[in-house]
Amino acid sequence: MDEESPMDSGPGERPSTRAQRVAIERRFASLMGHDDLTTDGVWEAERLLEATLLIGAHARPGEVDVEARLTDLRAMAACTDPPTLPSLVEWLFRELGFRGDTEDYGAPENSYLDRVLDRRRGLPVTLAVLTVGVGRLAGIPARVVGMPGHVLVGDPLDREVFIDVFAGGRSVSPAEARRIFETLHPPSTRFSPSYLQATPDRLTVTRVIANLQEAHRRNRRHSALADVLRLRRHTGIGGRSLDTVLVKTLVRAGRFDEAADELESMARLAADDGSSTADMEAAAVRLRARLN
């Protein structure tokens, strides 16, 4: 594997920070790898919220108290009275003032649920996670609807009603949802009714990570991107090609020891498959030499 010159070199992470990230990553992997409790991908009440909160905790180890945030979210659910989707929307979007961030849509903090709670601004998908997660805690059966380009919240009790959480909780019909889709895509992109079906929770968390990945890639924040790629490996999407991207990103970030660790892990897997490992092992040695 060819090495690339680092574009934002640095000494790498402190051992304590790295250990915190490893622990958070393991917790995230456990949530993402756990079998779904139902065939349509609905998780138990807190799992969607916890997995999404861990994305922010992984980005800022030591700063995000996941348990405290879950307590806050339980309190939000307890204030939803009566426990209906309209009451939840009124509480979150009218009284608490949550809405979409129209000023800096692509900002990474819009993908961190803890920051969404602080700022009361976010992306469609993080606002949908908030709405659905708090709703489930209150006993309200809401679902994330991951329409391409724009995420909505669906009501399993009324298939003709969707909530545009980015627009302050506005109710939209299936026809209006289609019009939203058409404004976001060229005429050649055809709308499918399947776009208004509920999205499995695992794919919703994956979408949060994908948005964050794109934000860091666009801003050339290589170290932050590497950390997101570590989480993405636990979504089941990307395969071994993602490992190669992670190594290159770690090199660009100047985290040569971690890149070498990844290469050595890849070499072990390749050896198990009977593939040649010489290039990967040699590249790992060269990376470790750069630490001296």
Q: What percent of the chain has pLDDT over 70?
A: 93
283, with CB counted inside 10 A (0-12, 13-18, 19+), is buried
Cβ atoms within 10 Å of 268's Cβ, excluding its own = 12
Q: What is the pLDDT of residue 214?
A: 95
pTM recorded for the entire structure? 0.90
290 pLDDT tier (thresholds 50, 70, 90): confident
Dump pLDDT digits (tens) for 231-263: 999 998 877 789 999 999 999 999 999 999 999
Nearest to 66 by CA among 101, 135, 110, 20: 20
Q: What is the pLDDT of residue 13?
A: 63
Q: Crossing angle for the helix pair 124-137 and 47-59, nearest 10 degrees?
A: 130
Dump pLDDT digits (tens) for 39-76: 467 888 799 999 999 999 999 999 999 999 999 999 99
φ/ψ (deg, to 5) at 174: -55, -40
279 pLDDT tier (thresholds 50, 70, 90): confident
CA distances from 215 to 39, 63, 184, 205, 210 (A): 32, 21, 19, 16, 9
Token pair listed for 109: 């903090």
Residue 204 scores a pLDDT above 60: yes
Average pLDDT of the residues of the chain: 90
205 pLDDT tier (thresholds 50, 70, 90): very high
9 pLDDT tier (thresholds 50, 70, 90): very low
Dump pLDDT digits (tens) for 182-199: 999 999 999 999 999 999
Mean per-residue pLDDT, 134-152: 96
φ/ψ (deg, to 5) at 170: -70, 135
Q: What is the pLDDT of residue 3?
A: 42
| Most distant pair of Cα atoms in the chain: their distance | 64
Q: What is the pLDDT of residue 39?
A: 46
Question: Could you state, in order of their start, the residue ranges of all structural domains in the chain?
Answer: 15-220
φ/ψ (deg, to 5) at 208: -60, -45
102 pLDDT tier (thresholds 50, 70, 90): very high
